[in-house]
Amino acid sequence: MKGAVIVAGGSSTRFGTDKLDQLLFGKSVLAHSVDAFVGIADKIVVVGKHVDGCLYADGGQTRSQSVQNGLAMLVGCDVVAVHDGARPFVTREFVQRLFCQAEIHGSAVPSLPVTDTLWQVDDAQPVDRQRFATVQTPQVFNYDQLVQAFGQATQSYTDESSLYFATYGKVHFVQGDTTNTKITYQSDLPQYRVGVGYDVHQLVDGNGVILGGVTIPFDKKLLGHSDADVLAHAVCDAVLSASGHKDIGHQFPVDDDAYLGADSMVLLSKCTSLALESGYCVVNLSAVVMAEQPKLYPHIDQMAQNLAKVLGVAPTCVNLSATTTETLGIVGQGKGIAAQATVLLVKK
């Protein structure tokens, strides 16, 4: 029988607020950490917080006491994993592999080589980093052996691998996972937002279409209150959506003459500023323009450069493509041009 102790009783002092309650892709950090064990461990106990579907144990004054409180709820288990609630990126495949290794070797501790230059502070000199490794959680052990090790301990340890080694003189290391990072500081928590925008404008008789700030020679033009730059409008809505603002129609109403014939790249600049004011900046843009005519390929690079300048990113962070709709719909019939855009924003 497999058990798991999720340690969730820390104070989050360096983070500044309870990091385990922070939302990450729609769920709390702790929920992600717990979910990695659901269906793999037969019993899951969370120490210090109540989580639906899990056993609960009180947190202790030290990590060692907290883990012992959790272990007391798992009597009857053969192997047990101890995992930090602040490691939400652990994968289920990684958890499975560690359990399998512990069943064979009695312990399984994920470790990674040190990749940064390492200094010994008190002697003020660098040391050979090849002699050192860092360890992660979950750390998985034979349940009885881990309980016995805690019972014999005469001091507190920073993690269970140190305790296990001090008791038995050995520990089985497993290749760690570089994505299995621990949330310690605010900057450790990814703050990405994705937005999608779509727009379509009718084609009427005219003298060229404007797309991505580029005027493309054509015997028609796009009809709209502004310059009808359908690509810029799609990007506007994507940026507004990702940064939590209402859409382009709300920001720049069609009944407001202030925006009559407006340059849509200026409108996009205002949308980008709104995102910045909300604490987000653009990482990259992917967009597609759908049109039968005119041919857009010769203008794609210039459109990408224009958009990149307004969004504040390198041109390589803007990927544009053009396609037709194989004569289907209003675009395929040459009655309009449409665009769809997806942007990724990150917290500043």
Residue 171 and residue 224 share a domain? no
| Pick from 96, 9, 104: nearest CA to 50 | 9
Residue 123 and residue 26 share a domain? yes
Query: What distance in Å separates the CA atoms of residue 33 and residue 5, rounded to the nearest whole number?
Result: 11
Mean pLDDT within 112-120: 93
Is 80 exceeded by the pLDDT of residue 20?
yes
- Measure the CA dihedral 288/289/295/298, to 10°: -50
Choose between 319 and 259: higher pLDDT: 319
Residue 242 and residue 97 share a domain? no
Residue 228 and residue 145 share a domain? no
Residue 184 and residue 123 share a domain? yes
Query: Domain containing 169 — which CATH number?
Result: 3.90.550.10
Query: Domain containing 211 — which CATH number?
Result: 3.30.1330.50
Mean pLDDT within 303-332: 94
Give every CB contact of residue 82 below 8 A, 6+ residues apart in sequence: 4, 5, 7, 67, 70, 137, 138, 139, 140, 141, 146, 160
Of the residues 188, 203, 218, which one is the last residue of a structural domain?
188
pLDDT tens per residue, range 140-194:
999 999 999 999 999 889 999 999 999 999 999 999 999 999 998 888 877 789 9
Is 70 exceeded by the pLDDT of residue 15?
no
pLDDT tens per residue, range 29-40:
999 999 999 999
Query: What distance in Å separates the CA atoms of residue 336 and residue 204, rounded to the nearest whole number?
Result: 8
Give every CB contact of residue 274 below 8 A, 6+ residues apart in sequence: 239, 240, 243, 245, 251
Residue 330 and residue 297 share a domain? yes
pLDDT on residue 22: 87
Residue 260 and residue 133 share a domain? no
Residue 136 and residue 206 share a domain? no
Of the residues 188, 203, 238, which one is the last residue of a structural domain?
188
Residue 213 and residue 129 share a domain? no
Residue 322 and residue 272 share a domain? yes
Number of structural domains in the chain: 2
Give the mean pLDDT of the chain: 94
Residue 65 and residue 11 share a domain? yes
Of the residues 169, 188, 207, which one is the last residue of a structural domain?
188
| Pick from 244, 18, 2: nearest CA to 10 | 18
pLDDT tens per residue, range 239-279:
999 999 999 999 999 888 888 989 999 999 999 999 999 98
Is 0.85 topped by the overall pTM? no
Domain extent at residue 97: 2-188
pLDDT on residue 124: 83
Residue 266 and residue 288 share a domain? yes
Is 80 exceeded by the pLDDT of residue 16?
no
pLDDT on residue 24: 79
pLDDT on residue 192: 87
Helix/strand/coil for 143? helix
